[in-house]
Structure 1
Amino acid sequence: MPVSSTSSSTTPTAELGGATARRVDYRHDLDGLRGIAIALVVIFHIWYGRVSGGVDVFLVLSGFFFTGMLLRRADTGSVGVVPTLRRTLRRLLPAMVVVLAAVAVATVLLQPYTRWSDMSAQTLASLFYYQNWYLATSWTNYLAADPAVSPLQHLWSMSVQGQMYLVMLVAVAAVAWGCRRFGRTRLVALAVAGTFGALSIASFIYAAQGVSTQQGWNYYDTFARAWEPLVGALLAIAAPYISLPRIARSVLAIAGLAAVLACGWLVDGAARFPGPDALLPVGATVALIAAGANTGAAEQPWVSRLLGTAPAVRLGSLAYSLYLWHWPILIFMLGERNIRSAGLVGGIAVITASLLLAYATNRFIEEPLRMRAEPTVSRSHRLRMGLAISTVGLLLIGGTAVWQVINGGKQQPVGNLDPVRYPGAEALANGAPVPQAEMRPTIQEAPADNSYPTRDNCISDFDTRAVITCEYGDTTAERTIAVVGNSHAEHWVPALHELALAHHFRLTVFLKMGCPLTVAAEPMYKGLPIPDCRDWSQEVIDRLAEDRPDWVFTTSTRPASDGGDETPDDYLDVWSALSNRDLNVLAIRDTPWLRRGDVRYRAIDCLAAGGDRFECGMKRTDALSPVDPAAAPAANFPQVYTLDLSNAVCEPEVCAVVEGNILVYHDEHHFTASYARSLAPELGRHLNPILGWW
């Protein structure tokens, strides 16, 4: 996130190995760099759906400014952990509290109550600076804006910055105390440099490994991001001693600015940062800082002077508030218009609104409450404003916490339902009558009514490479079906479990979130590479060859980008790999994924907003191709048998979200466990001719 405009840009006075560094003038060019970086962040978020590298620039600058401030304090006395924390929070929290309060109000007014629980959790995560970890656990994609994306998602970077501030503060304070304790006060900067240097190397290596193993987690991971602000911190220590010839400063400045401007086009940051590719924005920032180090304004390269012009500096002063405001405004606008792209006019409107709110926030909230308040602002006014902001913050904490407690008790899995009152899929597949009854699971119950392996932690999550297995059905039986793949294979487990109990066979699950069984060299999920999916799949295929289950149950299709569904070539490669190991395959057609155009939505959100089961559903022709696309290619694999239960999920014209009084989906595209259980009779009718077990 952007460094607050109140951070000092003055190069630190420090002692390194006994040499006294000189103090230089305020770096207006770095304020301008903030302005350029925030402009790139906003533009790329709104129009290009890419990561610009601006956040990486901000993280380097934050390490540079914050460490410089700490060293100056250490040089003149105590670092002052508590006072520094107090001043930092006073500088950062007021604007964030105002934005969070506005987002909370907008959420209540504009979004269905089914989204309030997640938003309340993210509000708390943002206020207490762990939003990055909250997002990492669900591997939320930060590649592009989408109406389904949280309006608070961008605050992950603020959490990383806050955590790094705390680490750097404690580290510098501890080093300074140790040096004073042993009479080595002249070595504070040197000791800090050694500490931060070792940490930055370890973080960089960790981030580089994360790109190739778990990039979804890596993107948000503080340990992976730490090297970026630590590089800025090291530069704060070294900057007083940088003395470059004019030509070198000019080359560094031109190259640095060019790299900052081009970064978003040259590197897919969401898929590569904060790994080695992040050296581009980090190196560019280092170059721009070094280019203007230890020079007066007149001696600076023309690029630095350009960055120090009034418009760039003014934009830099608004960077923090502009960063806070632009993303929620964009997300709410997309949600209200049910689109994925703002377009030219919509984007300009978002930028205009963001700039106006950023100016107001900076002028009336940040400026009066910053560390060195302007003389025109009275102490009583600051106290009143501080009290108002604190009250709003406490209300946010209390309100969101209460909502979490109240709503959390309603999210419980549904037990077995009376099949007479709740025929579910049998109403479609077998003409079962549908009496009047309350929909189950209810809107509140739905998020928790997921498949058994998820409840039992028997599915590897996005960041778990290990193969996790569990057994269901008749666990003493000799006949076995292995359920293999991602969550779309998993959500058939409740139906298979009912059949397994009735007909005495065992289910063994090999499941991983976001990972259909694959033999692809570079599998992708949500536009990001997931190499651990490749490695996991290879181990599972080897395990299946060793365990020899009677059948392997997995999905055979997925939604096509232009409507309907398809069988990707990678699925055929998997069938070939299984057939080569003499394994029998049950390949089931995937379920419709709820979407309007290319915008995903949840059934419960639509129902909570007043839609009925048909309005919240999809046209069958949009969800499914006329013929199962797996049928034709499966004919080339004698050991692959396709299953298509679409007629037990969709009516002839529409795929509704409620059938037989049972809610079909607990999110955008996964069956509720209740609906999956109701599919057991129809699934059994399809399986019996193939298996011959009953």
Structure 2
Amino acid sequence: MSISSTDHPTAPDRDRQPVPGAPVRPGSYRHDLDGLRGVAIALVVAFHIWAGRVSGGVDVFLVLSGFFFTGMLVRRADTGSVGVLRTVRRTLRRLLPAMVVVLAAVVVAAVVLLPHTRWSDIAGQTLASLFYYQNWYLATSWSDYLAADPSVSPLQHLWSMSVQGQMYLALLLVVALVATGLRLAYTWKRAAAHPIVRRLGRDGMLRVTLAVVFAIAVVISFSYAAEGVSTQQGWNYYDTFARAWEPLAGALLALCAPLIRLPTPAREALAWMGIAVIACCGWVVNGVLVFPGPAALIPVLATAALILAGAGRDTADQPVVNRLLATGPIVQLGGFAYALYLWHWPILIFYLGEQHQRRAGALDGLVIIVVSLLLAYVTHHLVEEPLRERSKPATVPQRGRVATGLSRLLVGRLAGRALAVPVRLLAGRGGLLTGIAVTTVGVLLLGSTVAWQWNNGAKAHAVGQLDPAKYPGAAALTDHALVPRAPMRPTTEEAPADIAYPTRDGCISDFDTRAVITCTYGDQNAHRTIAVVGNSHAEHWIPALQLLGEQYRFRVVVYLKMGCPLTVAEEPMYKGQQNPDCRDWSGEVIDRLGIERPDYVFTTATRPSDNGGDETPQDYIDVWSALSDRGLEVIGIRDTPWLRRNGIRYRAIDCLASGGDRVSCGLKRSEALSPLNPAEDPASAFPNMHLIDPNDAVCEPVVCAVVEGNILVYHDEHHLTASYARSLAPELGRELRPILGWW
């Protein structure tokens, strides 16, 4: 995102900038757009902290990034070579140092504040952020950007920086290739003699060619994003190809805005409409559900309106809104918007984690903002500015003002004078000390994250068969089996890999796979069949069913899709987002079940309720009706508890690694399960519906602990470990025996 001012059209000449509010030549430095950055970052921070919604500020930044960066590239191409390597080096020098400082701080905070079980994911996201592929990292997991709670990564917000970095590289290469191609074409006399070429000149041809290329790309990207909203929004939100049309719209503005001349009333109207829409966008549109599809036209067009309103005019002749945006405080806020964006999210997430809260209140939200502003100010003046100005001599008075201003901000006037000298030394010519410090931190950061990744990969593996004498698991609850002293298995390091077999074997359709994938477990040569259908909560019973199938000679055929309980709803949702693949997948599965006719269909009959306990949604009942219409026998299993406190999901391994025990890391049974199985009443209307409830083998009478019989129950927030699922086989067999009659 062009949150920082590093890509402003006249950034290389910042020592010649006029002061905010002073008259400037048409087309020169636009302080109003720095002010727009300030407004956008204020909205982003406020909405993240208090509203739990997307403000549209990120979309404003993406448009500005395309506008600023393309303008700079075209001006360079006009005067000579674009300078690919020089531009890459300059851009990285301006973006990476502040990011490295924040990443290093997050790594340190993670080590100090988070359990070691979280380190691997933080390490992975740190590397993804450092190398600008964080958006793809998150896209593969459908991370919920709305959820600012302790279960969210403190680096999740950096997906937008990855999109920006990737788009910078794409824009740079396109402009360089077109400029080079035109330069070569001009050496061909026939091409240079063409009337259109002679009339436009090489600079004009460059702009026209780029405008055509960018316009085509905008149409393609916008169409792709519009389709993605209704098909795979979880991926679409982070997808660079879906996001590309926003910075490309800014690129088109950079090419076309100088040619547009609007009357003053039109400029005033555009400016007022633009700022009003940007201010209200977050309340009107739930962006995380629909951006970057057609709804993103709202912040994009509003930003374009403000750019056009002030284009080609002296500051004194700009609309009132643009003049207000060019005033000192707003411009100054825009000046360190990049650093503020980097800092505010991790501070928010770590704070919520320490306080065990889902949202920040009014007062603590203000504290988070003040701390974020202070760190952003320090980062901007001690890291960004010294490295940005490395290539030009800065006067001592300029640096003295920065140093003294920072010192006074921190400790007051008298102490400020004392600290001005060392701060000036730190920000000396070329920012040498800052550069060395940032480079050192970067090397240490990279080394530590690689080590964490390697260490976690070495320890995470599925657990084999455990000795039932030492590890009775569920038998400790159902059969009062003796539980000897033995280390918990799987360990906190092993648990993430101790998962149900279909995920391990690639036998479950992921979030972005529409195809129905089937695999067979149990006795593959048997003539009797149980079809396990639905999402991962049907899947995690496969280790138990595998043992029963082998023992009692029946096949277990899986029809599974992540995040998709079997449904007949027209608009099924997952994490608040439309999931049409689930609807289409479910329709095909139900039809196939009607044709293949397994002896029984095994699926979940309940799910957790947002108000505590569990429930049977109407959609589940509609599915039972569809299966009943096809004459299929259905086994509905009551879902196992999900680990949640105050509506916040948490992992058992994180709690245990933080010093909790099997009981304190669990939850009250009354919070997880309703007094009666909520599926009983609706199931009574379906003679083909058979209910089972094995939760007495998962929970004690009062508490649902996270370790039973020396076996860890959960490998994440709500899925059984394969080891514990295997220990549930005897109890599941007792529940199924009167229904199946096969043993």
Could you tell me the TM-score, scaled by structure 2's length? Answer: 0.91
Residue 419 (structure 1) aligns with? 468
Residue 612 of structure 1 and its aligned partner are, at CA, apart by 0.7
Residue 293 (structure 1) aligns with? 311
Residue 8 (structure 2) aligns with? 8
User: Structure 1 residue 81 and structure 2 residue 84: aligned?
Assistant: yes
Residue 15 (structure 1) aligns with? none
In 2, distance between residues paired with 1:317 and 1:354? 14
1:69-468 → structure 2 map (5 Å cutoff)? 69-183=72-186, 185-186=202-203, 187-371=205-389, 374-376=394-396, 380=429, 382-468=431-517
SS in 2 for 1:138: coil
Residue 435 of structure 1 and its aligned partner are, at CA, apart by 1.2
Residue 404 (structure 2) aligns with? none
Aligned length: 685
Superposed CA offset, 1:52-81 (max 9, x none): 000000000000000000000000001011
In 2, distance between residues paired with 1:335 and 1:525? 25
Q: Any conservation in 1 of the 2:386–2:428 contact (CA below 8 Å)?
A: no
Superposed CA offset, 1:282-306 (max 9, x none): 0100111011111111111101111
In 2, distance between residues paired with 1:658 and 1:11? 59
Residue 591 of structure 1, aligned match among 637, 640, 650: 640
Residue 706 (structure 2) aligns with? 657
Superposed CA offset, 1:563-619 (max 9, x none): 111111111111111111111111101111111121111000010011110010001
In 1, distance between residues paired with 2:356 and 2:96? 32
Superposed CA offset, 1:453-489 (max 9, x none): 1101111111111111111111111111111111111
Residue 538 (structure 2) aligns with? 489
Residue 416 (structure 2) aligns with? none
Q: Any conservation in 1 of the 2:9–2:29 contact (CA below 8 Å)?
A: yes
Q: Any conservation in 2 of the 1:11–1:23 contact (CA below 8 Å)?
A: no
Residue 375 of structure 1 and its aligned partner are, at CA, apart by 3.5
In 2, distance between residues paired with 1:375 and 1:553? 76
Residue 8 of structure 1 and its aligned partner are, at CA, apart by 1.7
Identity of aligned residues (%): 68
In 1, distance between residues paired with 2:430 and 2:58? 34
In 1, distance between residues paired with 2:583 and 2:146? 22
In 2, distance between residues paired with 1:381 and 1:27? 26
In 2, distance between residues paired with 1:353 and 1:544? 58
Partner amino acid for 1:547?
A: E
In 2, distance between residues paired with 1:381 and 1:91? 13
SS in 1 for 2:140: helix
Residue 631 (structure 1) aligns with? 680
Partner amino acid for 1:584?
A: E
Residue 516 of structure 1 and its aligned partner are, at CA, apart by 0.8
Partner amino acid for 1:8?
A: H
SS in 2 for 1:546: helix
Residue 136 of structure 1 and its aligned partner are, at CA, apart by 0.3
Residue 33 of structure 2, aligned match among 30, 36, 50: 30
Residue 677 of structure 1 and its aligned partner are, at CA, apart by 0.5
In 1, distance between residues paired with 2:241 and 2:84? 22
Partner amino acid for 2:395?
A: P
Residue 7 of structure 1 and its aligned partner are, at CA, apart by 2.3
SS in 2 for 1:234: helix
Superposed CA offset, 1:615-660 (max 9, x none): 1000111111111111111111111111100100000010000001
Larger radius of gyration: 2
User: Structure 1 residue 54 and structure 2 residue 57: aligned?
Assistant: yes
1:455-534 → structure 2 map (5 Å cutoff)? 455-534=504-583
Residue 308 of structure 1 and its aligned partner are, at CA, apart by 0.9
Residue 668 of structure 1, aligned match among 676, 698, 717: 717
In 1, distance between residues paired with 2:647 and 2:447? 37
Q: Any conservation in 1 of the 2:115–2:657 contact (CA below 8 Å)?
A: yes
SS in 1 for 2:459: coil
In 2, distance between residues paired with 1:464 and 1:523? 15
Residue 144 of structure 1 and its aligned partner are, at CA, apart by 2.8
Q: Any conservation in 1 of the 2:500–2:721 contact (CA below 8 Å)?
A: yes
In 2, distance between residues paired with 1:222 and 1:6? 21
Partner amino acid for 1:693?
A: W
Q: Any conservation in 1 of the 2:26–2:313 contact (CA below 8 Å)?
A: no
Q: Any conservation in 2 of the 1:594–1:617 contact (CA below 8 Å)?
A: yes
Residue 346 of structure 1 and its aligned partner are, at CA, apart by 1.1
Superposed CA offset, 1:164-198 (max 9, x none): 00000011101111010111633111111111111
Q: Any conservation in 1 of the 2:9–2:69 contact (CA below 8 Å)?
A: no
Partner amino acid for 2:550?
A: L
SS in 2 for 1:198: helix
SS in 2 for 1:409: helix
In 2, distance between residues paired with 1:642 and 1:171? 61
Residue 406 (structure 2) aligns with? none
Alpha-carbon RMSD across the aligned residues, in angstroms, is 1.3
SS in 1 for 2:685: coil
Partner amino acid for 2:235?
A: W
Q: Any conservation in 2 of the 1:253–1:304 contact (CA below 8 Å)?
A: yes
Could you tell me the TM-score, scaled by structure 1's length? Answer: 0.97
Residue 613 of structure 1, aligned match among 662, 668, 675: 662
Residue 569 of structure 1, aligned match among 618, 629, 636: 618
In 1, distance between residues paired with 2:254 and 2:479? 73
SS in 2 for 1:642: strand
Residue 555 (structure 1) aligns with? 604
Q: Any conservation in 2 of the 1:657–1:663 contact (CA below 8 Å)?
A: yes
Residue 10 of structure 1 and its aligned partner are, at CA, apart by 5.1
Residue 440 of structure 1 and its aligned partner are, at CA, apart by 0.5
Residue 433 of structure 1 and its aligned partner are, at CA, apart by 1.3
In 1, distance between residues paired with 2:572 and 2:368? 35
In 2, distance between residues paired with 1:6 and 1:62? 9
In 2, distance between residues paired with 1:639 and 1:198? 56
Residue 677 of structure 1, aligned match among 723, 726, 730: 726
Q: Any conservation in 2 of the 1:9–1:30 contact (CA below 8 Å)?
A: no
Residue 25 of structure 1 and its aligned partner are, at CA, apart by 2.2
Partner amino acid for 1:375?
A: T
Residue 189 (structure 2) aligns with? none
In 2, distance between residues paired with 1:355 and 1:283? 29
Q: Any conservation in 1 of the 2:103–2:126 contact (CA below 8 Å)?
A: yes
Q: Any conservation in 2 of the 1:23–1:240 contact (CA below 8 Å)?
A: no
Residue 6 of structure 1 and its aligned partner are, at CA, apart by 2.8
In 2, distance between residues paired with 1:641 and 1:501? 22
Q: Any conservation in 2 of the 1:101–1:392 contact (CA below 8 Å)?
A: yes
Q: Any conservation in 2 of the 1:45–1:144 contact (CA below 8 Å)?
A: no
Residue 452 of structure 1 and its aligned partner are, at CA, apart by 0.3
Residue 331 of structure 1 and its aligned partner are, at CA, apart by 0.2
Superposed CA offset, 1:500-558 (max 9, x none): 11111111111111111111111111111111111111111111111111111110111
In 2, distance between residues paired with 1:84 and 1:687? 67
